[in-house]
Amino acid sequence: MTKVKLLQIGGITERMRAALADQFDIDILFDQPDRAAFLAAHGADYPAILTNGHYGVPEDVDAATPNLKVVSSYGVGYDAIDADACAARGIKVAHTPDVLNDEVADTFVLLWLAVSRELIPSDRHARSGKWETDGNYPLTRSVQNRRVGILGLGRIGQTIAERCKAFGADIHYHARSEKDVPYTYHATAADCAAACEVLVAITPGGASTRHMVNAEVLKALGPDGIFINVARGSVCDEQALVEALQQGKIAGAGLDVFEEEPKIPDALKSMDNVVLTPHVASGTHETRQAMGDLVVANLQQWLKDGSVKTAVPECRHL
Ligand code: NAP
Ligand code: 8YV
């Protein structure tokens, strides 16, 4: 059987490679010594791309693949792919929704508790010997019975809301539209922040949410407020966040995503009231395996009948 040419952008697991190997002839973009020459010579050979939420489909790849039919992306967020342009070209874009909801919601809880209960400095106090020399670590703020605002009440946002119930939270949210849920809706991010003590961003990235969390929103959150970002770095104005933290306009932050990944501003790294994780919200063996299996399943289904299991909304009509 003739294998179908597949262009791989970013890394994949051995399990994914093994599952695809019988049907696809995989070339790895980042292995090519001269990317431009490679794309010019071979771009037209690829009907299929396997990528991830970080790299998406870069402009040079898009321009060099006139026969592209399917893009299967490892991750639910697809702001690095121009899905409207793909749909206009008849290209099916698939992503990995739902299988990571629990993991990302858990990461929100992890960051929230770590910031509020000062896990990192408290651990440092214990292991440095300061407990013996300086005495007890100061008291911290409870996460019980807080007003929590969720920016983006989609698949993951709703899972976060479920987690928050276990902490007795009063749940608020902002999204494009009001939902039929027993939580308080706010028409703007600033209104949501003003009503809350904890604010979590879990919208998609892209132009419509760029800097949704800005100086005004952080000021509204207030000096006892905690901001958690598990969405995309672009959703928060990082400079405004640094200033808000430096000036005590908010109490702390837990950040899994950044504006210029993998770069993180030194100012954030230096603050004790900030907890940083390197975009690992879905990063467990179990969830990454489920994501990889879905990436593969989308490609296999496309090969079988031209459809994909989990198309992004822009491509569902194709
Ligand atoms: P989803 O089900 O599509 O939910 C997105 C939510 O964001 C919806 O409630 C939507 O509002 C809201 N929204 C979209 N654009 C908005 C705007 N301009 N203003 C206000 N609200 C807006 O997506 P999901 O599966 O929950 O995933 C959300 C995002 O999480 C992903 O796109 C990705 O960027 C991020 N993520 C990050 C990680 C990580 O590793 N840190 C892992 C997974 C996902 P409506 O409901 O009103 O349309
Ligand atoms: C992935 C993510 O780590 O699903 C998403 O949107 O941000 C993460 O789960 C990322 O897409 C892989 O690059």
Is the CB of residue 73 below 6 angstroms from any atom belonging to ligand 1?
no
Rounded mean pLDDT for each run of 10 residues along the chain, 318 residues in total: 94 97 98 98 98 97 98 98 97 98 99 98 98 98 98 98 98 98 98 98 98 98 98 98 98 98 98 98 98 98 98 96
Domains of the chain, earliest start first: 4-99+286-315 (3.40.50.720), 101-276 (3.40.50.720)
- Rounded alpha-carbon distances, angstroms, from residue 196 to 14, 70, 186, 226: 44, 42, 11, 9
Number of H helices, E strands in the chain: 13, 12
Ligand 2 mutation target, pool 9, 16, 50, 76, most atoms within 8 A of CB = 76
Is the CB of residue 208 below 6 angstroms from any atom belonging to ligand 1?
yes
What predicted TM-score, i.e. pTM, was given to this entire model?
Answer: 0.98
Strand 24-28 relative to strand 274-276: parallel, antiparallel, unpaired? unpaired
Position 1 scores a pLDDT of 75
Catalytic annotation, pick one of 232, 238, 259, 288: 232
Q: Are 35 and 29 in contact (CB under 8 A)?
A: yes
How many angstroms separate the alpha carbon of residue 52 from the centre of ligand 2? Answer: 7
Ligand nearest to the CA of residue 54, numbered in listed order: 2
Position 70 scores a pLDDT of 98
- Rounded alpha-carbon distances, angstroms, from residue 107 to 111, 116, 156: 6, 14, 11
